[in-house]
Amino acid sequence: MLLSNREPFTKKKSKDGEERWVQKAGGLVSALTPVMTQADGVWVAWAPDAGEASRAMVPGGGEPSFLLRSVPLSQSEVRRYYQGFANRALWPLCHYLLDRCDFQEQDWEVYRRVNARFADAVAEESREGDLVWIQDYHFCLAPRMVRERRRDRGAIAYFHHVPFPAAQVFRVLPWREDVLLGLLGADLVGFHSKNYAKNFMTSCADILGAQVDEASGQVLWQGRSTQVGWFPIGIDVDTHEAIARSPEVESQVTEIRKKVSGEKIILGVDRLDYTKGILERLYAFERLLERNPSYRGEVSFVQIAVPSRTAVEDYRNLKRKVDETVGRINGQYSRLGWTPVSYQYRGLPKEELIAQYRAADVALVTPLRDGMNLVAKEYVACRVEDDGVLVLSEFTGAAEELGRDSVLVNPYNINDVANALDFALKMHPDEQRARMRRLRSRVALRDIDWWLDESLRAAQASAEAGV
């Protein structure tokens, strides 16, 4: 059984008026759908368009194959649980952006109530021996709540897809004890990186006074032991490679390079989120042009920004600042036949995105903080000719795996990023190939299937060991 904030399938009407289930995009949904089908599983999620709770069989391979249990939320609950506590308290806190945190008592109370409602749904649907796998910061309280409600035995696992901050930062949260106790209701708490797992264990020791064994990854609290592990998520490498080699993508790559006037292309791909460092990235590209006049007319920066959380004021303000910055750079440096920044505020179909990865000489992946960042891995997987350079923020989970052969940068240091771009653009093809082959090998080794197998195996082992 799986609990997530958003549902894996949504119902859509075709032109003839017939309703059908459409699978949502994303590596996690693609990876988990066959597992849920095989296990005859239940996926509990918030369905934004559902007016009331519902249970429906959804297709895992064309035929109805597993149960989707939807939990409805009112507009007020969405505003306070999702837009409020989850995304104006926990999200900036986990990303070390304390000045953006907004700790509202009422938001917290609604977050707690919503977690309880989802825990009720999980308990109602669970069967003897079911593994319950809870996904992400929207449900930090749910592991303990599910444990309290379940009548049957079965493993409870939680995976935290965003960074877990250092204990000194996490202490800022007014309800820090409640969140930690909620998470310790799980048999297994998983993270993308060793550092995040260590931060969580240190927080449990410093804030709760729990007994922690970092070497074995166990937290002992009130007679129960919770296993803590790190499992860096991967991507569907085979699918990305196959699409990258397709004639359709090859054709799109040619078209992209025709439209982008520079000889070399730097690419950024992100949700439009203040944690992604898009503004700082634009400043670094501007600094590169300022310091290196020879790049003017020769290097173009393509930034794809996928709309995100448009109802939140911080995100609307960010869009305005990005628009203004792009306009200023293009106004200052554009010349006949060359525009330095190509800014695309939209989501791209998978094939078009992969064509952008293939067309780019340099991927600029510089979030201020990120749980993993799969754009870095997708770029590497799509470099089927073993060329290209990955410039990567040291504050991503991906840096633990890919840092050695990427060009690591501090995204807050504009000069550092500008220098890294200069280095990447001038890198000899032989060095590019050597680095990219090692990166591709690492990404292929820990793909989405590896992550899924390791996470589920560890969760089952934790429950069976009685921890």
Q: d(Cα 410, Cα 67) in Å, to the nearest integer?
A: 44
DSSP H helical ranges for 175-226 = 176-183, 194-203
Catalytic residue among 270, 370, 405, 447: 370
66 strand-pairing partners: 58
> 385 Cβ partners below 8 Å, 6+ apart?
none
Catalytic residue among 161, 206, 416, 449: 161
Structure tokens at 273: 């989120």
Which DSSP state fits 8? S
If residue 250 lies in a helix (H) or strand (E), which one and from where to where? helix 247-259
Residue carrying structure tokens 């082959």: 437
If residue 12 lies in a helix (H) or strand (E), which one and from where to where? strand 9-13
370 catalytic per annotation? yes
Kindly tell me the sign of the dihedral angle through the C-alpha atoms of 274, 276, 277, 282: negative
CA 351 remoteness from chain centre: 20
> 412 Cβ partners below 8 Å, 6+ apart?
280, 368
If residue 306 lies in a helix (H) or strand (E), which one and from where to where? strand 299-306
Residue carrying structure tokens 């391979």: 61
Pairing relationship of beta strands 132-135 and 156-159 according to DSSP bridges: parallel
161 catalytic per annotation? yes
* Residues carrying an active site annotation: 161, 370
